[in-house]
Structure 1
Amino acid sequence: MGALSKRAIAAALMEQSITLFACPVCQQSMHVYEQGRLVCPANHSFDIAKQGYVNMLTHSAASKYSKSLFESRKAVIDSGIYDAVEEKISKLIASAKTVLDTGCGEGSHLARIMTDIDNGIGVGIDIAKEGILAATRHYPQQIWCVGDLAKSPFAQESFDAILNILSPANYEEFKRLLAPDGCLVKVVPQSGYLQELRAQLYADSSKETYSNEQIVARFKDSFSEVIVERVTYTLPLAEELVPALLEMTPMGWHKKEETAIVLNEITIDVDLLVGKV
């Protein structure tokens, strides 16, 4: 017997965790049909692609994120500069059995975090198909979905932990999806995040400094139980990673061509906002 296809592997993972899913059109339960698609009782159907992901978008969605951006993001994350952040998240959600990463991109954070969680299943969702394609290519042991949280393909109270790492939030949907006693971990930049890059790109402008006060305040307004933990450190940055870092962060997208960026080290400075309903 030959090796299972990526579609068959993904279908088996989805079938094992089928109670996590709900039809994004009518919110009814889903089932896996002939290892090829997710179908609800109203016959709304979503194909499992041969690459091993399911596209559950109910509308067309343009993404500004390219394949090369996700390759750059993976290279930077694989270099280990976020290791301490990922380790902290793993400890915070150590007992979770179902983990959703919202805005997962190419899936590197989720895949690395799940290696420290025993018997857990990770699900990544992103509106950018290029990111999900990269995720399925590198991390077939997790479930990957192209989808929009505004039309969520997941069932109510289905996740023990939700991750929202340096990406936009949908707090009402997060609260709907959290299981009782589940938690949301949102990672937001602190004032020193990538400060070496910020200093060169935005020297002598208002953007050279950054505050997350408004984001933190809104988070605290959205959850009754909140913990804020800061993770900050500076570490060497390999010269070959500088272009990748510039491509993956919105700061780098506005760099003028003539601006030369020289970085020997980089600071990671983030707040981990942990919320329970």
Structure 2
Amino acid sequence: MGALSKRAAGAALMNENITLFACPICTSKMQVREQGSLVCTANHSFDVAKQGYVNMMTHAASSKYSKELFESRKAIIDSGLYDLLEGKIAEKIAGVKTVLDTGCGEGSHLARIMAQLEGAIGVGIDIAKEGILAAARHYNEQIWCVGDLAKSPYAEESFDAILNILSPANYEEFKRLLTPDGCVVKVVPQSGYLQELRTQLYAESEKETYSNAQTVERFKESFADVTVERVTYTVPLAVELLPALLEMTPMGWHKTEGKEITLTEITIDLDILVGRM
């Protein structure tokens, strides 16, 4: 017998972990039908795409993130720029069985973190279909869903760890989805994040400096037990990666036409927040 198609393999992985899912329309339990659909007890149905992901959106939604942005993001992450961050996150969630990456984009962070964990399943969700398409194309050991956390396709108390890496948060939904001993890992920029780029783009403007104080305070208000670890390092940046960096970061979207940016190194400066209920 030949190898399974990507659709069949994706459906099989979802079936193995079907208890993670709940219908985003009526919240009832789901099953995987042989033809490759997730169907709930009320007969709401979501087809597994030929690329192996499932679209569980309940409403139309647009995304400002393009296919080119996700390609650039993957190139930057594959370069190893975030290796230290991913290693720290893997250490903090070691021993978990279920991981959800919210706002996973093209899935590179989740795939690289899961490669450092044993016996765990990773699930990525993003509202941007282009991101999930790329994730399903490159990483077949995780489950990928187009979906909206406001209408979440997951069951209560399903995930031991929820990742929220440089992405908007939905803390009430995170709490619903966490297992009793689970944790939320949120990554937010610190003042020096991509500072070489910020300095050139926003010189002598109020955007030249950045503070995450409000974001950190809100996280602390949302969880009873919070730890914060700052991760800071500066690494060389290959000249061919500069266009990808400008493409993937919102800072780069505001570059004035004709303005030349030159970088030989870049600083990663991030807070890793870990919250437990």
- Cα distance in 1 between the residues matched to 2:267 and 2:171: 28
Q: How far is 1:35 from its partner?
A: 4.3
Matched residue, 1:135: 135
TM-score by length of 2: 0.99
CA distance in 2, matches of 1:134, 1:250: 20
2:58 aligned with 1:87: no
- Whether contact under 8 Å (1:196, 1:266) holds in the other structure is yes
Structure 1 residue runs of 4 or more that deviate by more than 2 Å after TM superposition: none
1:188 aligned to 2:188?
Answer: yes
Query: How far did residue 6 of structure 1 move?
Result: 0.3
CA contact (8 A) 1:188 1:270 kept: yes
Deviation at 1:258, TM superposition (A): 1.3
Match status 1:30 vs 2:24: no
TM-score (norm 1): 0.99
Matches within 5 A, 1:112-127: 112-127=112-127
- Where do 1:9-48 residues align within 5 Å? 9-48=9-48
One-letter code of the match for 2:19? T
Tell me the secondary structure at the aligned position of residue 95 of structure 1: coil
User: Partners in 1 of 2:179 and 2:35 — Cα distance?
Assistant: 28
C-alpha distance in 1, partners of 2:47/2:240?
Answer: 39
**Distance (Å, rounded) in 2 between the aligned partners of 1:94 and 1:133:** 28
In the alignment, which residue of structure 1 is the partner of 2:241?
241
Gaps of 5+ in 2: none
Aligned partner of residue 26 in structure 2, secondary structure: coil
One-letter code of the match for 1:215? T
Aligned to 1:215: 215
Q: CA deviation at 1:3?
A: 1.4
Please name the residue that 2:231 is paired with. Answer: 231
Work out whether residues 185 and 274 of structure 1, in 8 Å CA contact, stay in contact via their aligned partners in 2: yes
- Contact 1:12–1:35 (CA under 8 A) maintained in structure 2: no
> For residues 22-81 of structure 1, what are the alpha-carbon distances to aligned partners after superposition, in whole Å with 9 as ceiling and x for unaligned?
000000010001141000010000000011000000001111111010000000000001
> Does the Cα contact within 8 Å between 1:224 and 1:275 map onto a contact in 2?
yes
Task: Tell me by how many angstroms 1:116 deviates.
Answer: 0.7
Local SS of the residue matching 1:160: strand
How many angstroms apart in 2 are the aligned matches of 1:178 and 1:79? 32
Per-residue Cα deviation, 1:206-246 (whole angstroms, up to 9, x for no partner):
10000000000000000000000000000000000000000
1:129-174: CA deviations, max 9, x gaps?
A: 0000000000011000000000000000000000000000000000
Q: After TM superposition, give the deviation of residue 202 of structure 1 in Å.
A: 0.2
Aligned length: 277
